[in-house]
A and B are shown apart, each in its own frame.
Chain A
Amino acid sequence: MSEPLFVFRGIEKSFAKNKILRKVDLFLYPAKCILLSGKNGSGKTTLLKIVAGLEKPAEAEIEYSGKSLSWKKAIRNILKEIIYLHQQPLLFSGSVESNVAYGLRFTSLNRKQRRESVIKALEWSGLTDLANIQANTLSGGVQQRVAFTRAWILKPKVLLLDEPMSNMDHESREQARLLLCRMKSAGMSIVITSHVPQYFDGLTDVQFHLSNGQLAESKFSASNDSL
């Protein structure tokens, strides 16, 4: 078993007096996929946003490449290596192509490499014909595909997907699932929240259930032999 990319220990989070997460631990391994389930309002989105560095936890200790860091120190690496995809994606005003290219300007790629990378990504996701369309006029399912492509192109070490595929039809879903499988075998660590675990058969390695602010390995997991 390889070393975890990130370890989050003792995540605590409350909104006002409401304790949402109590001492949650999460280990993110390369080439592994976690499925996170839980009732509406159980705190799945909150947990993912904390792991993505978008929400500040009350308490948390992070290990990154073997070193133990405070949340404040870790945030830089977190933002660089982990990408969070919203339940309802937000596309910036501008074309599909400019959306897909958004994050590349913060990488070390030069203009030509960025251009090639965008063309390849659009092709791969079947968005080439839509490249010049205003992104936020597209249908929900296509917007989800654009958001997915926009994250995938950056090759993050960890991808957090909040209710992905909820708007996708069967065909796009199959395509996205295969792609996630490929990304996983390439070493990416994936966390998915979903109310429909069957969508992710063959992808999920372990299933956790969030309730009362605590995380427990779910007994109903399809294939949790490896963790």
Chain B
Amino acid sequence: MNGLLLTTQQALQLLLSGDAELWSIVLLSFSVSLKAILLTTPLALLVAFALNHVNFPGRRIILAFFNSLLSVPTVVIGLFLYVLLTRQGPFGNLRLLFTQSAIVIGQMILCFPVLVALGYAAIQASDRRVWETARTLGAPTWFSILTVFYEVRFGLLAAVLTGFGRIISEVGISMMVGGNIMGYTRNITTAIALETSKGEFAQGIALGMVLLSLAFLLTAFLSYIQGKKEFTT
């Protein structure tokens, strides 16, 4: 019991003293996951829009496919990507294994279905007349799409935040294709896993606190957005 108190105290000290190693790990996590979410969002939202507004055969099957991808375990994505990127694999000559890019790609795969499924739900809740009104007033296709996005902006923002929450807290992909290299691919979750296995709890707990605060902030913000959404519709 005393030991736990002590490590918690050490963890707080690490956080508050601005420990360089700790904060560089936090920064790395954010930069990798932000890249992943920013690169994924435009395409995922366009796919969500197309699934809503374009009537093509197989639409429902594709939608069901994305919904089922929501619950794929991250280690399976990690494994899949590892097999592709390993030296002997089909993309081995790209030399991407154990790089930040590999983590970014893995996290993009992870958040893509989240953004499509939640984006689809948000766009579906929008009124068909938004699209029709934009079109009949002479808006070109791309502007009409942006108009629809703007009308459901809170739903889309919620989708993006949920996707971000999912990828910044995943460990399977980062571990398998990142390799937990200090200063390069070690992020919050892999650092926690590593430090703990070494019996070093303080840094792990400190990083855990960062993740928890982030989760708390995201949730608070999401419910704030939810309130906005109800107010505006």
B129 at interface, CB cutoff 8 A:
yes
- CB-defined interface of B138-153 with A at 8 Å, one 1/0 digit per residue? 1110010001001100
Q: How far is the CB of B37 from chain A (nearest CB, A)?
A: 25
* CB-based contact B138/A86 at 8 Å: no
* CB-based contact A86/B133 at 8 Å: yes
Complex: how many Å from CA A21 to CA B232? 37
Q: How far is the CB of A90 from chain B (nearest CB, A)?
A: 4
- Known contacts: A90-B127, A92-B151. The answer to whether A83 contacts B135 by CB under 8 A is no
Residue among B130, B137, B143 with the most chain A CB within 10 A? B137
- Known contacts: A92-B151, A93-B151. The answer to whether A84 contacts B129 by CB under 8 A is no
A145 at interface, CB cutoff 8 A:
no
Residue among B133, B139, B140 with the most chain A CB within 10 A? B133
Complex: how many Å from CA A79 to CA B21? 59
Complex: how many Å from CA A90 to CA B232? 14
User: What is the predominant secondary structure among interface residues of chain B facing chain A?
Assistant: helix
Q: How large is the interface on B (under 10, 10 to 19, 20 to 34, 35 or more residues)?
A: 10 to 19
- Known contacts: A49-B132, A92-B130. The answer to whether A106 contacts B138 by CB under 8 A is yes
A52 at interface, CB cutoff 8 A:
yes
Q: Which residue of chain B lies nearest to A87 when distances are taken between CB atoms in the complex? A: B129
* CB-based contact A80/B147 at 8 Å: no
B2 at interface, CB cutoff 8 A:
no
Total interface residues in chain A, CB < 8 Å: 22
Complex: how many Å from CA A154 to CA B143? 17
A226 at interface, CB cutoff 8 A:
no
* CB-based contact B151/A83 at 8 Å: no
Q: Which residue of chain B lies nearest to A49 when distances are taken between CB atoms in the complex? A: B132
Within 8 A of B (CB), among A106-157: 106-107, 150-151, 154
Q: How far is the CB of A122 from chain B (nearest CB, A)?
A: 17
- Known contacts: A92-B147, A93-B150, A93-B151. The answer to whether A54 contacts B136 by CB under 8 A is yes
Complex: how many Å from CA A150 to CA B137? 8
Q: Which residue of chain B lies nearest to A160 when distances are taken between CB atoms in the complex? A: B136
CB-contact partner of B129 in A53, A90, A107, A154, under 8 A = A90
CB-contact partner of B232 in A93, A102, A103, under 8 A = A93
Q: How far is the CB of B61 from chain A (nearest CB, A)?
A: 20
CB-contact partner of A79 in B136, B143, B232, under 8 A = B136
CB-contact partner of B135 in A79, A107, A150, under 8 A = A79
* CB-based contact A54/B135 at 8 Å: yes
CB-contact partner of B139 in A52, A88, A103, A151, under 8 A = A103
A82 at interface, CB cutoff 8 A:
yes
* CB-based contact B136/A84 at 8 Å: yes
Q: Which residue of chain B lies nearest to A90 when distances are taken between CB atoms in the complex? A: B129
Chain B residues positioned under 8 Å from A53 (CB to CB): 135-136
Chain B residues positioned under 8 Å from A86 (CB to CB): 129, 132-133
Complex: how many Å from CA A82 to CA B132? 12
Q: How far is the CB of A53 from chain B (nearest CB, A)?
A: 7
Chain B residues positioned under 8 Å from A49 (CB to CB): 132
Complex: how many Å from CA A82 to CA B136? 7
* CB-based contact B137/A83 at 8 Å: yes
Complex: how many Å from CA A54 to CA B134? 10
Closest 10 pairs (CB-CB, A-B):
A103-B137, A90-B129, A106-B138, A84-B136, A54-B132, A103-B138, A90-B133, A83-B136, A52-B136, A86-B129
18 additional contacts (CB under 8 A) given A53-B135, A82-B136, A92-B150:
A49-B132, A53-B136, A54-B132, A79-B136, A83-B136, A86-B129, A86-B132, A90-B127, A90-B130, A92-B147, A93-B150, A93-B151, A93-B232, A103-B138, A103-B139, A106-B137, A106-B138, A151-B137
